[in-house]
Amino acid sequence: MKKTLVKAITVSLSSMPFAVSLAAPASDRPQCDYQHEWLSSACKRVMRVAHDGTWDLYVTGYGWHIDGFEGRRSELNPWSYGGGAGKHWVGANGNEDILFAFAFSDSHHNVEPIGGYARQWYTKPVLGGLQAGGGYFVGVTARSDVVHYLPLPLALPIGSIRYRRASLMGIIIPRIPGLNDGDVAWRRYE
């Protein structure tokens, strides 16, 4: 189990482009000069977070299995305990770019590493700082029950509630016929 855990985290972290660039000096930073403006813009956002962002600590807690399990829901692990680290950058308009990597206990009590980039747009603060946010997450994960920890790319919607410096975030993992049996709502605490 320990070798599998180390291998899964190492494979997932090594496949994330920002893992190496976090410590690169300014002169060694990759240039974001691409032929397509959207690609240059995305590269600049990621590099800004990696080099100028604020460090975060992540704690995971609960995974809700919505439907499709027909009486097997009690066999699945709802406690997705885990943690990790990342960085975030908040723009002048309050929207957020995030880079992160962490690992948690999946539905079958196996370790699942995950990491990537998230972009969220937020509402104006109400009640002294409460905001709702929504956006997207792109990254990579690896699961023991899906080709034994082969890194898998992800692109999923993300939503959150933020109060000043704390966030409660959630990702919906949709049903994919032949791959998983039901929807999962997953939450992350920052």
pLDDT tens for each residue of 44-57: 989 999 999 999 88
pLDDT at 40 over 90: no
67: confidence class by pLDDT, cuts 50, 70, 90? low
Catalytic residue among 12, 65, 80, 167: 65
pLDDT value of residue 9: 36
pLDDT greater at residue 17 or residue 116? 116
Q: Give one DSSP letter per residue of 11-42, joined into a string.
A: HHHHT-THHHHTT--GGGSPP---SSHHHHHH
The CATH number linked to 117 is 2.40.160.20
- Is 106 among the residues known to form the active site? yes
pLDDT value of residue 6: 36
- Is 108 among the residues known to form the active site? no
Catalytic residue among 12, 80, 106, 160: 106
| Domain coverage including residue 170 | 2-189
The DSSP H or E segment spanning 69 is: none
pLDDT at 123 over 90: yes
Catalytic residue among 12, 80, 107, 167: 107
Average pLDDT over residues 160-187: 72
Q: How many domains does the chain have?
A: 1
**Interatomic CA distance for residues 102 and 85, integer angstroms:** 6
pLDDT at 106 over 70: yes
139: confidence class by pLDDT, cuts 50, 70, 90? very high
Q: What is the pLDDT of residues 166-178, one digit of tens each?
A: 888 888 777 666 6
Token digits for 111?
A: 């370790």
